[in-house]
Amino acid sequence: LSLPARAAEQAENIVRKVLEEAENAEQLVRNIWAGAWKVCHFSTLPKWLQDNDFLHKGHRPPLRSFSACFRSIFRIHTETGNIWTHLLGCLLFVGIATYFLSRPSALIPWEEKAVFATFFASAIICLGMSSMFHTVSCHSEHVGRLFSKLDYCGIAVLIIGSFVPWLYYGFYCDYQPKVFYFVLVSVLGAASIIVSMWDKFSEPQFRWLRAGVFAGFGLSGVIPAVHYLIVKGFFQAVYHASFGWLCLMGSLYLLGAAFYALRVPERFFPGKCDIWFHSHQIFHVLVIAAAFVHYHGISEMAIYRLSMGTCSAEEPPIDFEY
């Protein structure tokens, strides 16, 4: 090559390297910026992220990558408590389920494992979907709406999964009402999930509708509970069907729904509960408490039912004729 040609080639290589370095530097700045986001005020959030106007500061801005969303788990912001309460609850149920289901069949028959597995799976799905939603809700409007639907579906799944063991052991020897209530719960659960698919269901103005849908679904459990109470009597219901634990579980869920719908305590202390102890965190804690209360209750039911042996002819079946 001639001297001018070699000089031109060298100049081209230099320009190419400069452009590559500039591109790398730009990417480095983007990475640093993505990792160095700052929490912001409610008023600066885009409309799709504006959910609770009583929480003034400490909100995450839109984080346009999943990696940034997951890294935000380890930052302090309005969703930190929401993420960790249900993430830890999910992991606890994974541990309990693993221990329970790994026990020898001589100690826990496979039928009982299947019944409890339904409850464990529902709790893990609900708490896992909730934690996931609160982690990625700031990614984008589309992602936030998608995971909010999964979150609400998880709530319906937990309610269904909570019904299964109580109905199974409560109506252990009574096929007709047991199947009827299983079908009823499944239909109501499917209806709740269908309503959850409505795009506007997750919007702030429908907070009361969300609380009402799931509270109503949960309260449908009053029907089989009253049925059992009338037929079997108060003593049997309290001491053998864990009626007290069932009522405590329902009370915790309803109390949590009330905190969620009323947005207490931040309603009375705007801007003072931005990071800790706001209504959604309290709701999460009460949901976990209710799930563990229910686990204790159905465990007592299972122990009593298995101690009775097979269904006896002397034990009259429950039917729909009071």
List CB contacts of 228: < 8 A, sequence separation 6 or more. Answer: 170, 171, 237, 241, 318
DSSP code per residue over 251-312? HHHHHHHHHHHHTTTTTTSTTTSSSSS-HHHHHHHHHHHHHHHHHHHHHHHHHHHHHT-SPP
| Distance between CA atoms of residues 185 and 214, nearest Å | 12
Q: Whose CA is closest to 93, among 135, 129, 55, 69?
A: 129
Give the other-Cβ count within 10 Å of 224's Cβ: 22
- Calculate ∠ Cα 114-115-120, nearest 5°: 90
| Distance between CA atoms of residues 185 and 118, nearest Å | 14
CB 235 within 8 A of CB 188: no
Q: Does 77 count as an annotated binding residue? A: no
CB 185 within 8 A of CB 143: no
Q: Does 284 count as an annotated binding residue? A: yes
Tokens at residue 283, please? Answer: 């709701």
Give the other-Cβ count within 10 Å of 74's Cβ: 9
CB 283 within 8 A of CB 273: no
Helix and strand numbers (H, E) in the chain are 11, 0
CB-based contacts of 41-46 (< 8 A; 24+ apart in sequence): 46/141
Q: Whose CA is closest to 169, among 181, 154, 156?
A: 181
Please tell me what DSSP assigns to residue 267.
T
Q: Does 296 count as an annotated binding residue? A: no
SS3 107: coil
| Distance between CA atoms of residues 31 and 205, nearest Å | 36
Residue ranges at the known binding site for Zn(2+): 134, 280, 284
Residue ranges at the known binding site: 134, 280, 284
